[in-house]
Chain A
């Protein structure tokens, strides 16, 4: 076999095109060549990598916080198993409770009950908060804004508050018993969603409308307090068993 017949000479397949392996810049070379934002990016990534590695080496996993639980297959297997029941439920409902068709639109006759679909009742209910719109003495008993503007703003406020929840309650994922306060806030919200929905259909609810209005704001607090009390009293026993399981397996240092 002659010398010039080594595998290396064959890799270009006679085309003269050589794979750029040797010329591909390494990461640090790229970092050196780049400037400005891309340079900063490389520098940050290098730090982040080092941090990851250090954390992994130091870790003895005594703390209970685990970031995540693989979506596949752990979660999906169960979900797939439940899917057919779910689809069956949708088909069953469709077959047994078909929707009705109401009379055609008629701009000249207002129906006695005007309602959106049920999932918008909460928003519809917030439009009926007129009685809470303060009449400002400063404006001579005038309201600062029309009742309906007030209602639309109430919608925005509710959505806004839900949006910032992650920035109010920080830390790692916790069960409700471990955070009775936030669980109580959640129950308050859920109950309020239902009571405000009931308020929006007040002419269909067999309760006096003043009582209903008061209950709308009272019930959420009542249920919130009950939740707090129950969870707080459950907490000790619950955490005891939870911790016992952990520390039996991993005695604290």
Chain B
């Protein structure tokens, strides 16, 4: 017998003896290259394991269980509202990132002129190709998202989908709808026009009327008791930094929980 051991790990030889198409060959080559370096196979196993654990726990749906002829409940289309919220959020994120290339959060102004923030928004609308449409898409996706989230909450309420074991998701949902509104509010202030300014004023007054912590909250959120550059900058950072991270993470957790628990079925 030969002293040379047969190479069990001769992947190239294995590939040759198979009759692979060009696409399959490329795919395998890339997969092997990555696997050699990153041990993908371990993680794949982990993922597969998780997938089956999560999915095998799922009971059959009621209609499957009983083989009911009537598989459609007229409320089912309303179950799409959660996905619609996610979609609108994504549209707003993409259009918002593009708007961010052109917007400047500065309340500075030479005497008698509008602020930098205001002029950057008008220049997006007037000078930038497709800029008006971009702003319009961002505005509308935000409005539609808020509406979809509210209607989603009503759907969850009226189908009783918040009950055990979904209380946690209900509470996460409350946080999400609140943050969606704060998202809208901070965005409303960014153009720094008359309504932005006076809505900001109301915000400061609301913050100030919180018992005990009022002044502290006003300082923290609005950077003072009157509206200045600090206010605009805080609103900007909340709108493009804090809230996106928080809301994205929470939506992921929210949908992950739905994935694990399944959609509640009021049958």
**Residues on A with beta carbons closer than 8 Å to the beta carbon of B160:** 169, 171-175, 179, 182
Contacts of A151 in B (CB 8 A): 206, 209
Min CB gap A159→B, angstroms: 7
CB-nearest residue of chain A to B58? A70
Contact with A along B58-77 (1 / 0, CB 8 A): 11111001111010000011
**Who on chain A is nearest to B196 by CB?**
A105
> Across the interface, do A69 and B167 meet the contact criterion of CB distance under 8 Å?
no
Which residues of A sit under 8 angstroms from B163, Cβ to Cβ? 166, 169-173
Contact of A166 among B133, B167, B181, B262 (CB under 8 A): B167
B137 touches A99 (CB 8 A): no
Q: Is B99 an interface residue (CB 8 A)?
A: no
Taking a contact as CB atoms under 8 Å apart, the answer to whether A68 and B59 are in contact is yes
Q: Are B141 and A90 in contact (CB under 8 A)?
A: yes
Residues of A contacting B154 with CB < 8 Å? 186, 190
Max chain B CB contacts within 10 Å: which of A97, A109, A174? A174
User: Which residues of chain A have C-beta atoms less than 8 A from B150's C-beta?
Assistant: 119
Cβ–Cβ < 8 Å partners of A97 in chain B: 136, 140
CA distance A195 to B152 in the complex (A): 20
Q: Which B residues between 65 and 120 are near A, CB-CB below 8 angstroms?
A: 65-68, 70, 76-77, 79-80, 83-84, 87-88, 91, 114-115, 118
Across the two chains, which residue of chain A brings its CB closest to B170?
Answer: A166
Which residues 84-109 in A have Cβ within 8 Å of B in the complex? 86-87, 89-91, 93-95, 97-99, 101-107, 109
The interface stretch among A27-35, A71-79, A133-141, A212-220 is A71-79
- Residue in A75, A163, A179 whose CB lies within 8 Å of B79: A75
- Nearest chain B CB to A242 CB, angstrom units: 8
Give Cα A97 to B202, complex, Å: 27
Complex contact B162–A246 (CB within 8 A): no
- Whether the Cβ atoms of A103 and B193 lie closer than 8 Å is yes
Bound complex: CA A71 to CA B265 (Å): 11
Which of A15-23, A38-46, A59-67 lines the interface with chain B? A59-67
Decide: B162 and A166 in contact? CB cutoff 8 A: yes
Given contacts A111-B195, A149-B210, contact A66 B61 (CB under 8 A): yes
Given contacts A173-B163, A183-B158, contact A71 B259 (CB under 8 A): yes
Residues of B within 8 A of A104 (CB): 114-115, 118, 192-194
In the complex, the answer to whether A159 meets B178 with C-beta atoms within 8 Å is yes
**Are B185 and A69 in contact, CB atoms less than 8 angstroms apart?**
no
- Chain A residues, Cβ within 8 Å of B114: 104-105
A79 to B115, CA, bound (A): 43
The answer to whether B265 touches A82, judged by C-beta atoms less than 8 angstroms apart, is: no
Q: Is B261 in contact with A68, judged by CB distance below 8 angstroms? A: yes
Give Cα A124 to B206, complex, Å: 10
Contact B202 A250 (CB under 8 A): no
Are A90 and B91 also in contact (CB < 8 A) when A1-B1, A69-B265, A83-B83 are? yes
The 10 closest A-B pairs by CB, nearest first: A68-B262, A105-B197, A104-B114, A166-B167, A94-B136, A79-B83, A148-B209, A173-B264, A102-B193, A173-B266
> What are 18 pairs between A and B in contact, CB < 8 Å?
A61-B65, A64-B62, A68-B261, A70-B61, A75-B79, A83-B87, A99-B135, A104-B192, A104-B194, A105-B227, A149-B209, A163-B174, A171-B164, A172-B163, A173-B160, A173-B161, A173-B265, A182-B160
